[in-house]
Structure 1
Amino acid sequence: MSFPQYPEYRDSGVEWLGEVPTHWEVTKLSYITNRIGSGKTPSGGATAYVSKGVPFIRSQNVHDNGLWLDDIVYIDEETDREMAWSRVRPLDVLINITGASIGRSCLVPAGFGRANVNQHVCVIRLDKAAEFSSWAAWSMKAPSTKEQVKVSQTGAAREGLNFEQIAGFYLCMPPLNEQKKISAFLDHETARIDALVEEQQRLIALLKEKRQAVISHAVTKGLDPDVPMKDSGVEWFGRIPHHWAITKIARLFHIKAGGDLKAELFSVEKHGDFQFPIYTNATDSSYVYGYTSSPSFPAGSLTVTGRGDVGFAIFRDEEFEAIIRLLVLVPEKGVSSKYYTYLINSLLAFSEGKSAIAQLSADQMSPYQVVVPPFREQKDIADFCERESLKLDTLTDQAKNLIKLLQERRSALISAAVTGKIDVRGWTPPADSAPADQEARMEAV
């Protein structure tokens, strides 16, 4: 889809807006608003939240594609009265002013009920909300505004915006009829893009479920569908091939926790004798803390995280060192570490009673029971899981890349429309605005 440019442009006088259509104005946000301010944390912090009451909007609820209310919290009527100045109205524009989500913004829908905000969310109230709010909301999502957010951040320890900075943001202001046309265009086109993104997100979830199911079945049932089965006696394994055994994981591996590093054996960079990776308690298999000249663990071992995301296993194909909180499992002869990497990640849930374990030690891991196929089967199953994982991971990566492209397209479309780089005055919504099939919609964006 392509659109013409406007016939004539002029310099906006604002670096990040560039040239704008000749008949457009450029104004500061303060000139079209009557309120820019935020709320506060209620007395008592999170203990002030109640199960029902007035919705209390926090930064995690404010997103560029709207309000996300799945994890909304509530305050009582008295707290809301004490914070009456920060109540939210329909058609207000909300923007996050601190933290990692700084600059994320959305429009409060028409008909939205009573709500309030905390100190991390700024309320922008337009003079003529019915006329300008939709345009202002789209303008706040544009890269030109994001750039103004970027250059305005304050705070040594944490990103932050103050109200004066927000009031000084520059917006393009086309005639009202064009504002409405451009807003309607963006409502329609971004909805189409968002529908595509949601489809890809659902696909990623399905691929993740399939990957889990394929691996779980392979590591507990094997690859021969006709093999006789028996009850394993272990709830999470169920029935297993008749010739497989059950044993404690400590009988298959020597389990040891990583230790402290010796300064003389450590280097941040890989050079000279320092050729062997040092791994930490991380779930990213490619993350390396540094390098050592004296590795403690052999290639073919596996590591398991002991803190944070407890119990995540990674196969290691070279000699290495491990530091504190990372468990290392060195296999006995006739044990495939690759097979048990898949088994641990798909089936073992490390817990104390009904609660997830906070820290996993070698002693805690040792008594966990695992299945024991013959070594040849372990290798065949590991190879099968590797092939199937690669297929599904490739499809997942393709879906993620498509989401990235769609999000970039969405951002570029908003930017071009609200800064006048494209002329959509001749645009009309399709007669049938219902989502078409995916191929047709991909052609549209």
Structure 2
Amino acid sequence: MKKATASGLVEAPWTQSAPASWQRTFLGHLVEVRSGATPSKDEPSFWDGEIPWVSPKDMKVLRIADSEDHVSEAALAHSALRWIAEGSVLMVTRGMILDHTVPISLAMRPLTINQDMKALVPRRVVRGAFLAWLLVGLNPALLARVEEAAHGTKALRTEQWKKLPLAIPPLDDQRRIADFLDRKTAAIDALIAKKEKLVALLAENRQELITRAVTKGLDPSAPMNDSGVNWTDLLPAHWQVKKVARWFGKIGSGTTPDSQNSEFYLDGSVPWVTTSELREREIETTQKSVTTVALAGC
């Protein structure tokens, strides 16, 4: 529940729980806003430079010093593109990524951005590093302000995010909090990387175990002969090499009945397997079914 303070500011749950000494304000009061642009793709000289041009596809890290695409000084001189200062907080404000997250990054050098983003240039009362962490922490509150724009895409409009209530500690506390989060999240990320490496190794060992069992059998002392096939070198001497189609049965292909024909799908009782079911080792049910009319007509 939101409530108004004595100064008239509206507080939210995350500001109500903050220390009383922290300043209550709105996000729009803390920053100046800079917009991005896309220089003409028809002018090659605009795209042969070394200036980072950050777009949503680059917004996968908290700190950004480079980007996939780059522009030239000519692009800055002859288009709507403008420099974004180091220390600015970058935020994606348009795109389907906003369906589940609002990407936030801190500019670690002067750069440029495209039109699907905004740059929040911190005023003197807030540090960029702290503001970036703050907006990451309040991502659910930003997501709640996302709207559906034209053509079904998502948009976080400036007039909406500017009204986000915030509680801001003194500058020294902001620095300490940002430094603390840098250290702690780096340690967590390192642990995640180790776990991911272990998971990858376990998956590799699992595959090797399966491959060994189905191509060499379970008896390591069994006599081996050359397999005669290119996907494994040796097979147990008492095994036979057979072609799948002749030994195991028939091979057939699937199809997709006309999705506009309701007779093929309405009240269907025949399981229709799609690639989404192939994540399962055994298939007992399917997400979709077709009718016997589809079987006869396709």
RMSD: 3.6
* Cα offsets for 1:112-153 (capped at 9, x unmatched): 3x5332223322211239x5111211111113x432332232
Q: 1:44 to 1:218 in 2, by over 3 A?
A: farther
SS of structure 1 residue aligned to 2:90: strand
Matches within 5 A, 1:42-441: 42-44=40-42, 53-63=50-60, 65-67=62-64, 72-79=68-75, 81-82=77-78, 85-102=81-98, 103-109=102-108, 112=109, 114-128=110-124, 132-143=127-138, 145-156=139-150, 157-251=152-246, 252-261=248-257, 266-267=265-266, 274=269, 277-282=271-276, 283-285=278-280, 288-291=286-289
Distance in 2 (alpha carbons) for counterparts of 1:105 and 1:44: 30
Q: TM-score, normalised by structure 2?
A: 0.75
**Which amino acid letter does the alignment assign opposite residue 244 of structure 1?**
W
* Cα offsets for 1:371-391 (capped at 9, x unmatched): xxxxxxxxxxxxxxxxxxxxx
Q: Is the 8 A contact 2:51 2:71 kept in 1?
A: yes
Distance in 2 (alpha carbons) for counterparts of 1:76 and 1:291: 55
Q: 1:206 to 1:78 in 2, by over 3 A?
A: farther
SS of structure 1 residue aligned to 2:235: strand
Q: 1:172 to 1:218 in 2, by over 3 A?
A: same
Distance in 2 (alpha carbons) for counterparts of 1:45 and 1:184: 43
Unaligned runs of 5+ in 1: 1-9, 297-320, 325-445
SS of structure 1 residue aligned to 2:166: strand
SS of structure 1 residue aligned to 2:161: helix
Q: Is the 8 A contact 1:36 1:167 kept in 2?
A: no
Q: TM-score, normalised by structure 1?
A: 0.53
Q: CA deviation at 1:77?
A: 4.6
**Which amino acid letter does the alignment assign opposite residue 191 of structure 1?**
A
* Cα offsets for 1:188-208 (capped at 9, x unmatched): 222222222222222222222
* Cα offsets for 1:325-369 (capped at 9, x unmatched): xxxxxxxxxxxxxxxxxxxxxxxxxxxxxxxxxxxxxxxxxxxxx
* Cα offsets for 1:380-428 (capped at 9, x unmatched): xxxxxxxxxxxxxxxxxxxxxxxxxxxxxxxxxxxxxxxxxxxxxxxxx
Q: Is the 8 A contact 1:64 1:141 kept in 2?
A: no
Does 1:17 find its partner at 2:14? yes
Q: CA deviation at 1:225?
A: 1.4
Q: CA deviation at 1:266?
A: 4.2
Unaligned runs of 5+ in 2: none
SS of structure 1 residue aligned to 2:275: coil
Q: Is the 8 A contact 1:86 1:123 kept in 2?
A: no
Indicate the residue corresponding to 1:395 in structure 2: none
Distance in 2 (alpha carbons) for counterparts of 1:29 and 1:254: 65
Distance in 1 (alpha carbons) for counterparts of 2:156 and 2:127: 23
Q: Is the 8 A contact 1:267 1:290 kept in 2?
A: no
Q: CA deviation at 1:255?
A: 1.4
SS of structure 2 residue aligned to 1:63: coil
Q: 1:223 to 1:45 in 2, by over 3 A?
A: farther
What is the total number of aligned residue pairs between the two structures? 277
**Which amino acid letter does the alignment assign opposite residue 287 of structure 2?**
Y
Q: Is the 8 A contact 2:146 2:154 kept in 1?
A: no
1:37 to 25, 35, 38: 35
Q: 1:135 to 1:220 in 2, by over 3 A?
A: same
Q: 1:101 to 1:173 in 2, by over 3 A?
A: same
Percentage of identical aligned residues: 25
Distance in 1 (alpha carbons) for counterparts of 2:241 and 2:43: 50
SS of structure 2 residue aligned to 1:209: helix
Q: CA deviation at 1:222?
A: 2.3
Distance in 1 (alpha carbons) for counterparts of 2:219 and 2:20: 73
